[in-house]
Structure 1
Amino acid sequence: MKKFINAVDDVLVESLSGFAAAHADLVRLQLDPHYLCRAQKAQNKVAILSGGGSGHEPLHGGFVGYGMLDAACPGHVFTSPTPDQMLAAAEAVEAGRGVLFIVKNYAGDVMNFEMAAELLPFDHATVLTSDDVAVEDSTYTTGRRGVAGTLIVEKVVGSLAETGADLAACQALGEKVNRRTASMGVALSSCTVPAAGRPTFDIGPDELEMGVGIHGEPGRRREALRPADALVGDLLAALLEDLKPQPDSRALLLVNGFGGTPLMELYLLYHAAARWLAERGVAVERSLVGNYVTSLDMAGASLTLCLLDDEIRAHWDAPVHTPALRWGR
């Protein structure tokens, strides 16, 4: 294993410290318990808070800022943050309108956010993301996993919160976006967790894992490497089967890298996906391509499709200013 680290036990704190220093105009780091929050606390709005295991950067800390999250709680690599982190972060960013938790559907995340919520002295609600169509259940979940579609939920709900909308409205919009969003990924290699020192799973040089999870969980099947067009067709067919779009639907297409895939290949996947969707009457009106919900050093990518309506599109287009996502401001 070759990684730029000093000591395995120090990876998280040193990485968070570097992130906070590099983006000191946008975020502030609190240690013990760990959380990231906006450098300037927002006022008189619903506070949006998310979190999860580290190793998926820029999710979630990279999305702290205007138009998205008020705070993010990072756990150790692929490990849920603890209730005391969530409680401390929520108390730090609550601004008189309550707190909305956006939680990926993994057993540890769900349990710990629920424990924290029970201790909050103010109004709170939760949106559970579950956009991964690859499997219904896995080692980590009961039901579908929350993956790259979580970014879309955070962006759209974060925009609504900036308008002064109440807690119930923010929760309702988050749940609507989640229902209209589907994702599926494919891996060409495994990731290597620093503490483990070896790849999470073994895969041959001519194999791929179709439907892989963002922690290296098994997907739908192991199969032989095929041309990108064929892989894109399989991924999108699964998304359309789930979403069942109406004719002439409008969509946001997110091509997300897992950390070890060059942008050249991600844009090639976008080219194939946009053509495939156009041939089936789905117009891609908004797009995002890059490494946003990663799995350490895994080579691979996921495709996420969100069916747009006027409300979702307007909040996607609204200004955002975070370390990893910014436009219109």
Structure 2
Amino acid sequence: MSRRQLLNAPEDVVPEALEGLALTHPDLVTYEPGAALVLRRAFTPGKVGLVSGGGSGHEPLHAGFVGVGMLDVAVAGAVFASPNALQVHAGTTAADQGAGVLQVVKNYTGDVLNFRIAAEIAADEGLEVASVLVDDDLATAGSKVGRRGTAAVLAVEKVCGAAAEAGADLATLAALGRRVVGSSRSMALALAAGTHPGDAGPAFTLPDDLVELGVGIHGERGTGRVPFAPADELVDRLVAPLVEDLALDGSVPVVAIVNGLGGTGPLQLSVVARRVHHHLRACGVGVARSLVGSYVTSLDMEGVSVTLVRADDELLRLWDAPVRTPALTW
């Protein structure tokens, strides 16, 4: 018997959720069910289009970030499954407003392959396409395919979206997105795995005295298990390697993103954010901007990720630029 969840049928959860998003935010987005696209309600002629996407189950990523100052189109696959190349091609052409299209792609094999195929098809049709590959997950730095793409994708979409809104060209946006990726690292941990719609139980189980460290956003196990401990000790396990890998020495501040993985409430996320600030302050690292909430989730996983982004003046200016999407607005 499957675990009780608020759904009608597992196979309908993605289209019904996307329809619900569009009905909730009709002033911001529309939903095209044929290719499972969420599109910006009002496109800007002559602006570089931004398209991203991937498997569902990470909401509000990516559909929740469609709107003014971020994405023009999001392409949704099934839960934890990449959209196919034809879907991505449809999203890429829909995003085109005459100045080319930037694809923001998380580093997972299916996403990389299908976005690449879609870009090649679009190029054959005369559309200029560039890609930014997001690979920020420090836990998988030594894997065969390199670091996974996780919550730094939010920073890429926000910064590049702001620059596109200001009229930056495709080459400038691609270089900017790659610079944000190179300046970003993330680490995550889980107290409990998420449950795939229709499944009887979570993707993996943990004893009460252990925590999964280095967990991914597709229900993957982490790179190791560590003893359960007070929040401050667990957060230090996430932040310390990020500071080291980014060579943070206090010369530049950071944008700090504390991201819930789906089943962690705001009260706990604020406890995590507190320790992130204290840890960075003790290292002499300033926090120029913070964002705390559930933005890149893994269904109902009980866990948290921390992303740090080295922040220069240009990045902060673009981070502060107005944005209006279903999930992020200022």
TM-score class, shorter-chain normalisation, is over 0.9
2:129 aligned to 91, 101, 124, which one?
Answer: 124
**Equivalent position of 1:293 in the other structure:** 296
CA distance in 2, matches of 1:15, 1:32: 15
1:133 aligns with 2:135: no
Please list, as runs of the form range in 1=range in 2, the aligned pairs for 1:1-329 lying within 5 A after superposition. Answer: 1-120=3-122, 121=125, 122-136=127-141, 142-327=145-330
CA distance in 2, matches of 1:174, 1:183: 16
Q: Which amino acid aligns with 1:251?
A: V
CA distance in 2, matches of 1:102, 1:200: 27
Offset, 1:219: 1.6
Contact 1:185-1:300 within 8 A present in 2 as well? yes
Q: Which amino acid aligns with 1:71?
A: V
Q: What is the SS of the residue equivalent to 1:269?
A: helix
Offset, 1:313: 0.5
Q: Which amino acid aligns with 2:120?
A: E
Contact 1:27-1:37 within 8 A present in 2 as well? yes
Offset, 1:129: 0.2
CA distance in 2, matches of 1:60, 1:91: 17
For structure 2, list consecutive stretches of 5 or more residues without a partner in the other structure. Answer: none
Contact 1:42-1:70 within 8 A present in 2 as well? no
Offset, 1:248: 3.4
Offset, 1:137: 5.4
Contact 1:135-1:219 within 8 A present in 2 as well? no
Q: What is the SS of the residue equivalent to 1:231?
A: helix
Task: Report how many aligned residue pairs link the two structures.
Answer: 325
CA distance in 1, matches of 2:309, 2:250: 15
CA RMSD in angstroms comes to 1.1
Q: Which amino acid aligns with 1:129?
A: V
Contact 2:156-2:181 within 8 A present in 1 as well? yes
Contact 1:45-1:96 within 8 A present in 2 as well? yes
Say which is worse superposed, 171-180 or 239-248, in terms of deviation.
239-248
CA distance in 1, matches of 2:251, 2:229: 30
Contact 2:250-2:286 within 8 A present in 1 as well? no
TM-score for the superposition, normalised by structure 2: 0.96
CA distance in 2, matches of 1:92, 1:272: 43
Q: Which amino acid aligns with 1:222?
A: R
CA displacement 1:66-102 (0-9 Å, x = unmatched): 0000000010000001111111112122011000000
Offset, 1:198: 2.0
Q: Which amino acid aligns with 2:134?
A: T
Offset, 1:196: 3.2
Say which is worse superposed, 238-247 or 112-121, in terms of deviation.
238-247
Contact 1:156-1:174 within 8 A present in 2 as well? yes
CA distance in 1, matches of 2:94, 2:252: 41
Q: What is the SS of the residue equivalent to 1:249?
A: coil
CA displacement 1:271-317 (0-9 Å, x = unmatched): 01101100111001100000000011000000000010011000000
Contact 1:249-1:281 within 8 A present in 2 as well? no
CA distance in 1, matches of 2:295, 2:13: 20
Contact 2:249-2:283 within 8 A present in 1 as well? no
Contact 1:67-1:320 within 8 A present in 2 as well? yes
TM-score for the superposition, normalised by structure 1: 0.97
CA distance in 2, matches of 1:175, 1:83: 23
